[in-house]
Amino acid sequence: MLCTLLLPFFLSASASASTFPSVRTPLQAPSGVQAPAPLPRGDREGFEDRSDFSPGAQHDPAITTPDAILGQPVGSRLARHEEIVLAFTTWAAESPRIVVGNHGQTYEGRELLHAIITSPANQARLAAIQADNARLADPRQVRSGELEGLIHSTPAVAWLGYSIHGDETSGADAALAVAYHLVACTDADVTGLLEDVVIVLAPEMNPDGRARIVSLVEQNSGQRVNLDYASMARGRWPFGRGNHYLFDMNRDWMAGVAPETRGRWSLLRQWTPQLFVDAHEMSGLDTFLMYPQAPPRHPALPKRLLYWQGIFADAHGEAFDRMGWGYYTREWADAWYPGYSDAWGSLNGAIGMLYEQGRNAGQPIQREGGEVVPYREAVHGQVVASLSNLATLRANREALRRDAFEHRLTQMQPAEGKDRVILFEATRLGSRLEPMLQALLDQGIEVARLGQDQVAKDVVSSLGEASPERSFPAGTYAVRLAQPQGALVRSYLEFDPRIDAETLADERGRLERGEASRLYDVTAWDLSRQFDVAAYWGTLALGDDAKPWLGMEPTRGSVLDRRGRTDPPYGYVVDGADDRSLAFAGRAMELGLVVHLADEPFAPDLGVEPREVFPRGSLLLRRHENPGGEAALGGAPATADWNQLVAQAASETGVQVHAVRGGRAADLERADLGGGHFVLLARPKIALLSGPPLSQTDFGDAWQYLDEVLRLPVSLLAAESLPGTDLRRYNVLVVPSGDVGTLLHSEWPALQAWVRSGGTLIAIDAAAQALADGELGLGDVRLRRDVLEDLEPYGEAARRQREAGTQELDLAQVWGDVPATAPTAAGEALDQEATEPEVEEASDDDAASEHPLAHLDSDLQRADRLARRFMPVGAILRAEVDDRSWLTIGTNGELPVPYAGSAVLLSSGEVPVRLAARDRLRLGGLVWPEARVRLENGAWLAREGLGYGQVIFFAQDPTYRGSWRGTARLLGNAVVLGPGMGAHQPSGW
Ligand SMILES: [Zn+2]
């Protein structure tokens, strides 16, 4: 059955198993032309695996086999996206057991295909099954006495999701074999399974990534097969793991940055499965990892998750034993981070199961023990695992349904009898808060708005301020913890979940012994800090007048003219607190408009009361500077109506633009609009370094943000062609993280000349570390490990920045009425310099090794090396924001920042975003005491002026996983505002 039409063009002719046209060779070769035979693909040269995936099973001959579609046995080579679509649409036309649909589209335009496979009788009542399933997912919908009947009569639901990492290919090929078996097999075990289970199967969760790896494998295939694992190229950069923007979608389930994720949310909310399979691959030298999971375990996960994972693994292990295959559980892949596919399934009440099959990328390989594993065997492993899990689900379906219901019911009960609620201040709606809340809503989390002012008790803010009571105005957004999706609420929004003591002790021991951390992903992630929205946990019973929030209105940018006059406006302003103002500024400059940025708050005359104050960073466009605003040079006619260009930029970027009456400030304390507080911006011409040796995910994060979020034209500049590239075409160069030290150092003379002539060089993470090298002669930013013997100036600079402007002036001292003392840190240092006697230089006779201080250096180095073991694998830290820097526009006071890894940047120069002192540093996640000492006062964002240009250092990826929207703003500022604010462009004439 075909529910959503996906028929590719080549299926429009009638296709049967015997006459099925090969997708690869639609045309005959011309006669008389000596063409080479096409290169063989997949398993070959005697390494074929022809084993029967379902030995002894009977299959309906009327159903087209996947082998017929591929022209060779399923799993013996990589199936292309079009072949996968063709197979499923063919089966949907041939069998009443399957319907196929499309739950989204990738950036590159490929459909996100899914199939619903169940008995024809169930297919006939799918809507009723969905409705019953939905009631079981919301205990409020189930009347007392009704539960057992519903559990008995509703088939279990399984989610089988394959190859979310596109280059972990065997899953998608296995999906063809699994689906064919379920659709065609006439044996009682399959027909019975389909009576009891509805299978929602997503054969290819990352079609763009798969297309990348398939083309690479095909392009790299040769006449001879090579069994060497190292030759099994994972592909060229960018590999097939991520989606179009190279996002790891197995970390995206919480925030849903990728359209693929949002499509899956929507499909899965219709089905709420009890089994949630996520089929991956790992090193080809390895065997097969399956769940139960390793510790630590997130407390919001279902109580009996581990128990059930054990039951599934028992049967799965037996099935693998029958094949004689290796496998293991619990050695890695923990249950702490909630953004994985299977974690999402489990938090929704399913039993999440991860498969990690050793990978071959479509060709046979030899493992270290000498065993040759054909690609088809890897595919076979995924098939056996899937069918085993389905059988276990069927055998336990009522108990699993009961536990899933229990999980949701438990979530609805207030913890310790308290109505815990997360409250969000109704600010930054369009660009931050509502997109974040929409992601929650799209996952079935209920969001409300207070109907009146309410007081919450025991309140803690996202920046760690506690207060016994706090009042929240009507309109505040609220998410209750006690709701059917409470497990998601808790795991996404809890500020500081703590890893259990036993796991922590084990982790500490490993690090002490110099072993690698066992933590598999970041240890802190709460969404309100990622988005930097003001959030509070408190106790509060929502009033009856609280209204459910139904989602974002579509945003339409427009020009608002409230002047009540028809003469042309003096100009236009845009609120800089709205992150979209950056997109507007970029687009407006691209359209040729002249844009200024306010360096302090101002009050333009909009012709309305009360007067509105626009924050620093807001934009101003003046009529007299813009084309068409005044007669152009030499009295030539204006080429464009600037008012229309402003409206166009507003509508394309979703911002509200306000028309201004005149240049005089509406508030006489504030700046008039023609003066020096409005700095001229320069159009950014942006190059983003790409290709090897950059980190694909870090590159992808920056690319997606600049291209999709800010809608800026960006040149992707291949790192390998950086030498020899004429950088004068650009005034912004962004270098994402990666192994770029050698490149940046060898290119430094050219880069430095470009920066000096007005360029803005933005270096992120490892790129920033590479530039924090004293030998480059680039100012004050250093790696902490390089300045261990002289840390004091950095601490002093941090203190000075914190104290600046806060101390009371002693006027008697200022005017010299009393003897001078040194009240400040800077003064103290001066005092010491003046009073301490110079230490005598060691005499030239001493060998360097006998220098009395020689041991100190090595001791410091050793201690630091040890301390580096304890640096966070991924935590959220408190950073202090210099609100006088243009780089921090759009942030307030303090900013949660992500941190991972051992490198720490220090600077005694300009540090717009600085890590807090050690005792205030940790906001969430595991940060050992040694790490807090190393991290305190570190530069998270630093800037160095150089000639007419500047270098901007980000210690970490500001656009991490696409969901760190608070810190992403800093990168947006650097890119869009940098050429005008921190660098000097030659002025035209
Ligand atoms: Zn994977």
Separation of 172 CA from ligand 1 center, angstroms?
12
Distance between Cα 263 and ligand 1 center (Å): 19
Confidence of residue 828 (pLDDT cuts 50, 70, 90): low
Confidence of residue 825 (pLDDT cuts 50, 70, 90): low
Ligand 1 centroid to residue 280 C-alpha, Å: 4
Ligand 1 geometric centre to CA of 930 (Å): 32
Residue 634 has what pLDDT?
47
Query: 881-893 as b/e, with b when 16 or more CB fall inside 10 Å?
Result: bbeebbbbbbbbe
753 three-state secondary structure: helix
- Could you tell me the distance, in angstroms and rounded to a whole number, from the CA of residue 288 to the centre of ligand 1? 12
- Residues 952-987 as b/e (b if ≥16 CB within 10 A, e otherwise) read bbbbbbbbbbbbbbbbbbbbbbbbbbbbbbbbebee
CA angle 704, 706, 712 (to 5 degrees): 130
pLDDT digits (tens, 9 = 90+) for 416-455: 889 999 999 999 999 999 999 999 999 999 999 999 999 9
Instruction: Please tell me the distance between residue 356's alpha carbon and the centre of ligand 1 in angstroms.
Output: 7
How remote is the CA of residue 869 from the centroid of ligand 1, in Å?
Answer: 26
Say if residue 686's pLDDT is above 60: yes
Query: How far, in Å, is the centroid of ligand 1 from the Cα of 974?
Result: 34
168 C-alpha to ligand 1 centroid (Å): 6
324 pLDDT higher than 50? yes
How far does the centroid of ligand 1 lie from the alpha carbon of residue 334, in Å? Answer: 14
Residue 289 CA to ligand 1 center (angstroms) comes to: 11
Is residue 826 very low, low, confident or very high in pLDDT (cuts 50, 70, 90)?
A: low
Expressed in angstroms and rounded, the spacing between residue 485 Cα and the centre of ligand 1 is: 26
Determine the distance separating the centroid of ligand 1 and the alpha carbon of 338, expressed in angstroms: 15
In contact, 557 and 657? CB cutoff 8 Å: yes
**How sure is the predictor about 20, in pLDDT bands with cuts at 50, 70 and 90?**
very low
**How far away, in angstroms, is 203 Cα from ligand 1 center?**
15
Q: Which residue in this structure is represented by tokens 């938090």? A: 347
CA of residue 531 to ligand 1 center, whole Å: 26
584-606 tens-digit pLDDT: 999 999 999 999 999 999 999 99
Q: Tokens 């900013």, residue?
A: 895
Centre of ligand 1 to C-alpha 282, Å, is 7
Structure tokens at 53: 């995936």
Q: Ligand 1 centre and the CA of 165: distance in Å?
A: 5
The pLDDT, as a whole number, for residue 848 is: 46
CA distances from 755 to 256, 751, 886, 945 (A): 37, 6, 19, 9
What local confidence, expressed as pLDDT, does residue 142 receive? Answer: 96
Rg (CA), the chain: 31
CB 622 within 8 A of CB 673: yes
- Asked if residues 357 and 279 have their Cβ atoms less than 8 Å apart, the reply is yes
Contact between residue 296 and residue 502 where contact means Cβ atoms under 8 Å apart? no
Q: How far apart are the CA of 114 and the centre of ligand 1, in A? A: 19
Q: Is the pLDDT of residue 30 over 90?
A: no
Output the CA 97–ligand 1 centroid distance in Å.
Answer: 30
Distance 892 CA to ligand 1 centre (A): 38
- Are residues 887 and 942 in contact, defined by beta-carbon separation less than 8 angstroms? no
Tens digits of residue pLDDT in 773-822: 989 988 899 999 999 999 999 999 999 988 888 888 888 888 888 887 75
DSSP 926: -
The DSSP 8-state label assigned to residue 694 in this structure reads B
> 277 alpha carbon to ligand 1 midpoint, in Å?
12
| Neighbour-count burial for 801-837, b at 16+ CB within 10 Å, e otherwise | beeeeeeeeeeeeeeeeeeeeeeebeeeeeeeeeeee
β-strand partners of 105: 111
pLDDT at 14: 38
Q: Which of 381, 377, 302, 368 is nearest to 335 (CA)?
A: 302
| Stretch 58-75: mean pLDDT | 96
pLDDT digits 0-9 by tens, 696-751? 999 999 999 999 999 999 999 999 999 999 999 999 999 999 999 999 999 999 99
CA of 260 to the centre of ligand 1 (A): 16
Query: Given the DSSP bridges, would you call strands 448-449 and 454-461 parallel, antiparallel or unpaired?
Result: unpaired
Tell me how far apart the alpha carbons of residues 896 and 533 are, in angstroms, rounded to a whole number. Answer: 10
Tokens of residue 13, six digits: 């002719």
Q: How far apart are CA 717 and CA 724, in angstroms?
A: 12
pLDDT surpasses 70 at 4: no
Q: Are 326 and 511 in contact (CB under 8 A)?
A: no
Lowest-confidence segment of 323-337, 406-420, 623-637, 946-960 by average pLDDT? 623-637
pLDDT for 839 beyond 70: no
Residue-averaged pLDDT of the chain: 91
pLDDT bin (cut points 50, 70, 90) of residue 230 is confident
Please tell me the distance from the alpha carbon of residue 182 to that of residue 749, in angstroms, as a whole number. Answer: 63
CA angle, residues 45, 51, 55, in degrees to nearest 5: 170
d(CA 610, ligand 1 centre) in Å:
55
Cβ pair 54, 60 in contact under 8 A: no
Q: What is the per-residue pLDDT across 166-211, written as a single tens digit (0 to 9) for each?
A: 999 999 999 999 999 999 999 999 999 999 999 999 999 999 999 9
pLDDT at 9 over 50: no
pLDDT at 234 over 70: no
Copy the structure tokens of residue 350. Answer: 């399913």
Average pLDDT over residues 542-552: 95
pLDDT score for 830: 57
Summarize pLDDT for 654-671 with one digit per residue, the tens: 999 999 999 999 988 999
Mean pLDDT of 404-414: 95
**Cα of 486 to ligand 1 centre, how many Å?**
27
- The CA distance from 783 to 761, in Å, is 18
pLDDT value, residue 23: 53
**What is the rounded average pLDDT of the residues 961-988?**
95
Query: Could you tell me which residue, 573 or 633, shows the higher pLDDT?
Result: 573
How remote is the CA of residue 200 from the centroid of ligand 1, in Å?
20
Using the mean position of ligand 1's atoms as its centre, give its distance from the Cα of residue 503 in Å: 24
DSSP assignments along 488-529, one per residue? HHHHHH-S-----HHHHHHHHHHHHTTPPP---S-S---HHH
Report whether pLDDT(640) > 90: no
DSSP string, 561-614: --S---SPPSEEEE-TTSTHHHHHHHHHHHTT---EEESS-B----S-SSPPPB
Q: 915 forms bridges with which residues in the sheet?
A: 879
> Distance from the CA of 169 to the center of ligand 1, in angstroms?
10
Give residue 87 CA to ligand 1 midpoint distance, Å: 24
Quote the ligand 1 centre to 281 CA distance (angstroms).
5
CA of 355 to the centre of ligand 1 (A): 9
Q: Give, in degrees to the nearest 5, the angle at Cα 633 between 628 and 638.
A: 25
- 163 CA to centre of ligand 1 in angstroms: 7
Cα 958 to averaged position of ligand 1 atoms, centre (Å): 24
CA of 201 to the centre of ligand 1 (A): 17
Q: How far is the CA of 161 from the centre of ligand 1 (A)?
A: 12
Ligand 1 centroid to 75 CA: how many Å? 18
Q: ω before 693 within 30° of 0 (cis)?
A: yes
| CB 762, CB 715: distance < 8 Å | no
Q: Which of 93, 66, 78 is nearest to 8 (CA)?
A: 93
- 324 Cα–ligand 1 center, Å: 24
β-strands 732-735, 760-764: how paired?
parallel
Query: How many angstroms separate the alpha carbon of residue 279 from the centre of ligand 1?
Result: 8
